[in-house]
Amino acid sequence: MSADAESTTESTYDVVILGGGSGGYACAFRAAELGLRVALVEKGKLGGTCLHVGCIPTKALLHAAEVADTAREGEKFGVKSTFESVDMSGVNAYKDGVIARLYKGLQGLAKAHKIELVEGAGRLVDAKTVEVDGRRITGRNVVLATGSQPKSLPGLEIGGRIMTSEQAMTLDFVPPRVVVLGGGVIGVEFASVFRSFGSEVTIVEALPRLVAAEDEAISKTLERAFRKRGIAFRTGVRFESATQSGDTVTVTLEGGDTIEADLLLVAVGRGPVTEGLGYAEAGVTVDRGFVTTDERLRTGVDGVYAVGDIVPGLQLAHRGFAHGIFVAEEIAGLNPAPIDDVGIPRVTYCDPEIASVGLTEAQAGEKFGEVETYEYNLGGNGKSQILGTQGFVKLVRQKDGPVVGVHMVGARMGEQVGEAQLIVGWEAFPEDVAGLVHAHPTQNESLGEAHLALAGKPLHAHN
């Protein structure tokens, strides 16, 4: 074999992955476990948005916010604690420490899996080739995993006191007044953090309700809880413009109303990162920035797959993670079951927390016609009373059929979404879950109680 032929063989991988976020690294690790030769291209840090500027840092901020609230409210529990202030340098050090430990672990796993990590901005050249800083990397299969980035609105420039979640993550001060543009997941999480840290917060949302993708009953409870916490919100109203003057941002709404703030957080969603990466030129179908795939995450180009936020659907790190594993197993010939967005759990980590899986009441009604619902109030749950939280577990079932949706709101209810996912995923009937023994006293009991009630044998039901 000639030297040229040998080098060509050596540089051909089984899988070349463009993007090292949740979807990309999961695909890389699983493919390596299955004996495939893998190259992973990442322009920033391994772990991507989720680890460095998304899920992990925001949840660290939210935990710091919970600690601040606990200090304020100690007297409620007979503990004489006082809240002095939030030291953002301390909060950021705590947050960065969590990220650093997870990042180190991820780098260790990449090394252990013998993955070639290629640092630099990659571009798809053709169906088999990714180019990074002039180097061409060839793969029998290529996986596009370039993720998403914060969006803005036309004419709304990010800079100064107008920022997205990425800049808000590294703030070194607590702004006295904040306007949050967008009442979706990111918007309500940051509103919750800022309020706990002591800011006056106003959310502006064009849709008629906060967290509009959730079941309507969830939105109503969250809005009630936010009012109680002193978080203001304007729903059904459109943003018009924002101007900065010194340290002040003036936000103008449709109709001429203005709100003055020290910071405007733009949380109007995330858009796919696909522009200028050669996708369309290589024959991959791109629609409004998103990559079109079939249910097996294949693009229209043979051997090219797409995973995570660039594929239309839920923009969640754990969806990308599941996509990555699926594609690795698909390439290895294991014929895995496709990932269905309906069965993916969703958690919003504001206070109170929101957790859901499956169909909302409206979606179920549209799909099945007749549905039954039940709301179990956390007033009947001992652990929730100990925590001092309010909320409910709402079940949606097909009439005389299985449970197709579980929707929960209340402190720490995100921790209950695992069982909820199994209930919906395995198409359980209320009677199936009612027969399971749930530990006492836990918030997990609220799921058991809700199913007992829907099965016709309510015990601790306070409605």
Residues with active-site annotation: 440
Q: In which order are the strands placed within the sheet that holds 248-253?
A: 239-245, 248-253, 258-261
Give, in order, the Cα–Cα distances in Å from 149 to each of 121, 186, 256, 273. 15, 12, 30, 7
Q: For residue 389, give the nearest of 58, 80, 79, 73 by alpha carbon.
A: 73
String of b and e for 197-207 (b: at least 16 CB within 10 Å)?
Answer: bebbbbbbbbe
Distance of CA 118 to the CA centre of its chain: 26
394 contacts: CB under 8 Å, gap ≥ 6 = 215, 217, 218, 361, 373, 374, 375, 376, 405, 406, 407, 408, 450
Comparing CA positions, the residue from 177, 44, 169 lying closest to residue 103 is 44
CA–CA distance, 40 with 296 (Å, rounded to integer) = 21
CB atoms within 10 A of CB 163: 20
For residues 417, 268, 190 and 260, what is the CA-based torsion angle, rounded to 10 degrees? -150
Taking a C-beta distance cutoff of 8 angstroms, is the pair 293, 299 a contact?
Answer: yes
Q: Are 198 and 69 in contact (CB under 8 A)?
A: no
Contacts for 132 with CB less than 8 Å, ≥ 6 apart: 41, 118, 120, 121, 122, 123
Instruction: Quickly count: other Cβ atoms within 10 Å of residue 454's Cβ.
Output: 22
